[in-house]
Amino acid sequence: MADQEHFQNANALHVQYRDLDPSKAEIRLVELDPFRAAEFTSDSGHQPVVRCRLKHHSLREWPCHYTALSYVWGDPNVTSPIYLDGLEIQVTKNLESALRHLAIEQWNDTDSRPTLWVDAICIDQRNQVERTQQVSLMKDIFRNAYQTLLWLGPATGDSDLAIDTLRQMSLAANFPGQHFNSWSKFPFTDITSDPPMATIRSILDKALAELCLDDFARLKAISSLFDRPWFRRVWVIQERVLSLNCVVCCGREWVTWEKFREGFWLLCGIRDNLNIVGSDTGRQDSSALATFLTTGLNKVIPVSFTRSNSSLLVLFSLLSGMAAKAQLQASDRRDYVFALLSLIDLNRSPLILADYTKDWNAVRMEVAKACLIYYGPGFLSFAGLSQSTEDSASLGQNVPSWAPDWSSAYLPQPLNIPSMFVVRGKNRERAYSTLLGFTQNLSQAFSDDNRLLLDAFQVGDVSELGDPFPEADDLADDTARVASLRLWLQGLEAMMPCTNRVYCTTEEVNEALWRTPIADRAFAYNWETERASYETLSAYRALKAGEVSEGVKYANIASIKLLRRRPFVSANGLIGLGPTGMSIGDSVWAVPGADVPFVFRSAGASSFSVVGEAYVHGIMDGELRQLLPAIEFQRVVVA
């Protein structure tokens, strides 16, 4: 669904909409006139104007012969005229180009008039009641469509090459004897004697070599295509996921969604191969190539991996995972929630309804309350002062710290993020369990003044802070990344107390030093993680020794886990990672029902604010129950 602010110009269109009948689940459709051959083949250089008309349609009628258009509105100040029901109106250039494309495709068949659902034209965006009602029908609109056209925009210099490359990648993914869904389940290891593994690695290295030809022309074209605004629009997730028949179109070139996805999968395999075992193509900086690939692939994650019937928790994890990489965009902040509602499984999610009569702060609190009651205090991993920006702070002055701001580019990515990306045939174990066996019910935990009452155990006060790991583009180079992390690790070692009653032996100290920067997780495949193992320790030792080829594997993991986090030491000697915005004097708390601890800050009047979640080495697997004879919880007020 296009963004609301762009429709403030709708008043100038003077479109007189006939009311829809909600009892019939009515929608509007656009019937598009194809260009006549004489218009299209004219030598005058004149471009014919797109002409279309509106009609009503009940979603209860079958069959539904219409194409749903998934697109980005574009710059509202760059418009082109079209005729709607005989009236000239202005629409954005990107929408006009999509309609023109469809009219041209039908130019030699004047008896065929494409019928479309286009949100910009089919919904009266000035009518908040209608808008709310139509959003509730979005699931049916896209599922009932004969086809959904995923319009990436007009062609550019290398877009045709990008589409062709995805087709070629799709063919490579379906090599004889192995379907892409099968090869993607293979673990990548250094073992080359295994015939299937050797074959897969050979295929991936050959595909990478093709991408690197002609000064990386195909790789750059793919990256440019994935950088198009369509992939960052929050509404396209449900539009793609709910549609049964999708075609990806860029200019005059197109590819089916199945082929697009297969090509994407092969690129994921190339990235995994580079990250874990390197490459046999003779290229030296395999990690830098993997980073370049990952940057592009991250932008396609939402439309590639998201499924219908997901829990709302998983969908919010998607938003948090994207915030630091290629933030999904919606100019109406409420759409960060409402655009996901058609995808949720109500058996695993609280009931939340889209309502455009409520402002953003009201939506934030309503959603947070529902999720905290349904999922428990672990939902606080998405919340906290660490996500605040000057803009979001001004908008949320009366919003408590326990209510996440889904529109923030600083939305935290939870350490214990529930993954929708488990695609290799098995679910992974829970990453952490700080207070295993303890739970609490939050259904009666909210006061009338929007304070959250929690049972919690104070682990310790923050007494020392280390420097955040630098976020810099030039660290994409393997050698620079290893050197930077080695320097950062020296600072971490200097923070470790000389005498420590928590980590008593040299072995325990060393384990804390290598597990903490990666939050005790290791890279697996396709954005999955697993418990750090001996292989991870070997990579850490290589990094400490300055061995770039192996050490960069540890650096890759650390650079992800250290993003917007910094090390700290508590007054009782515990070492951990917390939000960049934490301060000395903040306190660390373990909360029953949450897998990870949290950093709280005094907010006066015996209350606290959530700063963010924390990794605390030595208590993440339930050790508190062994370290303490009895755990006594306190009632904490979170404002």
577 phi, psi to nearest 5 deg: -120, 140
Q: Are strands 147-153 and 565-570 parallel, antiparallel or unpaired?
A: unpaired
Q: With bands split at pLDDT 50, 70 and 90, how would you rate the model's confidence at 276?
A: low
CA distance to 171, 327, 402, per residue, from 222 (Å): 16, 19, 39
Confidence category of residue 71, pLDDT binned at 50, 70, 90: very high
pLDDT of 448 strictly over 50: yes
Mean pLDDT, rounded, for 85-96:
92
Place of tokens 């070139």: 253
The residue written with tokens 């903490």 in the block is 516
Q: Which residues of 13-50 are buried (b: 16+ CB within 10 A; e: fewer)?
A: beeeeeebeeeebbbbbbebbbbeeebeeeeeeeebbb
The predicted structure's pLDDT at residue 37: 54
How far apart CA 237 and CA 490 sit, in angstroms, is 43
What is the pLDDT, as a whole number, of residue 419? 46
Question: What phi, psi does 348 have (nearest 5°)?
Answer: -130, 20
**pLDDT score at 196:** 63
- Spell out the long-range contacts of 274-280 with Cβ–Cβ below 8 A and sequence spacing 24 or more: 274/208, 275/523, 275/553, 275/556, 276/188, 276/189, 276/523, 276/553, 277/188, 277/189, 277/190, 277/201, 278/549, 279/205, 279/208, 280/201, 280/205
For the chain, give the mean pLDDT: 84
Map tokens 């971490």 to a residue: 492
Contact 472, 544 (CB under 8 A): no
| DSSP calls for 405-465 | -TT-TT----TTPPPS---SS-PPPPS--TTTT-----TT-B-TTSPEEEEEEEEEEEEEE
Q: Containing H/E element for 88?
A: strand 87-92
The answer to whether the Cα torsion of 611, 613, 615, 620 is positive or negative is positive
User: Which H, E and C letters describe 68-79, residue by residue?
Assistant: EEECCCCCCCCE
- Can you say whether the dihedral through the CA atoms of 487, 492, 497, 503 is positive or negative? negative
Backbone φ, ψ for residue 30 (5° rounding):
-110, 125
Work out the average pLDDT over 89-114. Answer: 80
Q: Is the pLDDT of residue 308 over 90?
A: no
Going by the DSSP 8-state scheme, the letter that residue 358 receives in this structure is S
- Alpha helices (H) in 245-404, listed in sequence order: 257-277, 286-298, 301-305, 312-326, 335-338, 360-375, 390-395
Question: Residue 552: what pLDDT?
Answer: 87
Least confident of 40-44, 127-131, 245-249, 392-396: 392-396
**At residue 55, does pLDDT exceed 50?**
yes
Question: Residue 193 — pLDDT band, cuts 50, 70, 90?
Answer: low
Check residues 200 and 60 and name the one with the higher pLDDT.
60
Closest-CA residue to 36 (of 107, 135, 100): 107
pLDDT reported for residue 152? 96
Model-level pTM? 0.84
Structure token digits, residue 367:
């959603």
**Cβ-Cβ contacts under 8 Å for 518 (sequence gap 6 or more):** 532, 536, 554, 557, 558, 561
- Indicate whether 457 pLDDT > 90: yes
Contact yes or no for 365/403 (Cβ under 8 A): yes
Distance CA 506, CA 492 (A): 15
Separation between Cα atoms, residue 330 and residue 340, nearest integer Å: 12
Task: For 4-26, write each residue's pLDDT tens digit.
Answer: 444 444 434 567 899 999 999 99
CA distance 84 to 352: 35
Q: Which region among 215-224, 304-313, 588-597 has the lowest average model confidence (pLDDT)?
A: 304-313
Q: Could you count the other beta carbons within 10 Å of the beta carbon of residue 629?
A: 6
Report yes or no: 598 and 411 within 8 Å, Cβ to Cβ: no
Sort residue 14 into left (φ over 0), alpha (ψ -120 to 50) or beta: left
| Exposure letters 172-194 (e unless 16+ CB within 10 A, then b) | bbbbeebebeebbebebeeeeee
DSSP per position, 128-191: HHHHHHHHHTHHHHHHH-SEEEEEEES--TTHHHHHHHHHHHHHHHT-TT--HHHHTTSPP-S-
Encode pLDDT of 291-303 as tens digits: 778 778 878 877 7
* Span 479-509, pLDDT tens digits: 888 999 999 999 999 998 776 778 989 999 9
Among 455, 488, 458, 456, which Cα is nearest to 470's? Answer: 488
Contact 152, 249 (CB under 8 A): yes
Contacts of 274 (CB under 8 A, 6+ apart): 208, 286, 287, 289, 290, 293
Q: How far is it, in rounded angstroms, from Cα 473 to Cα 252?
A: 35
Q: What angle do CA 408, 303, 64 make, to 5 degrees?
A: 120
Mean pLDDT of the region 46-59: 91
Tell me what pLDDT residue 476 has. 61
CA atoms of 79 and 95, how far apart (whole Å): 9
Dist. CA 591–CA 589, nearest whole Å: 6
Alpha-carbon span 35 to 40, nearest angstrom: 6
* Between 422 and 132, residue with greater pLDDT: 132
pLDDT above 50: residue 391: no
Q: What's the N-to-C CA distance of the chain in angstroms?
A: 34
Q: What b-and-e string marks burial along 366-381, b requiring 16 or more CB atoms within 10 Å of the CB?
A: bbbbbbbbbbbbbbbb
Instruction: Show the CA angle centred on residue 581, arms to residues 578 and 584, nearest 5°.
Output: 75
231 CB contacts (<8 Å, ≥6 apart)?
A: 299, 300, 302, 303, 326
pLDDT score at 326: 61
Task: Provide the pLDDT confidence category of residue 390 given band limits of 50, 70 and 90.
Answer: very low
pLDDT tens column, 325-382:
666 888 789 999 999 999 888 888 999 999 999 999 999 999 999 999 999 999 999 9
Q: What is the DSSP pairing of strand 529-531 with strand 521-523?
A: antiparallel
Q: What are the pLDDT digits (tens) for 122-172?
A: 999 889 899 999 999 999 999 999 999 999 999 999 999 999 999 988 887
Question: How do residues 520-561 score in pLDDT, each as one tens digit?
Answer: 988 655 445 678 888 899 999 999 999 998 898 899 889 889
Contact 611, 386 (CB under 8 A): yes
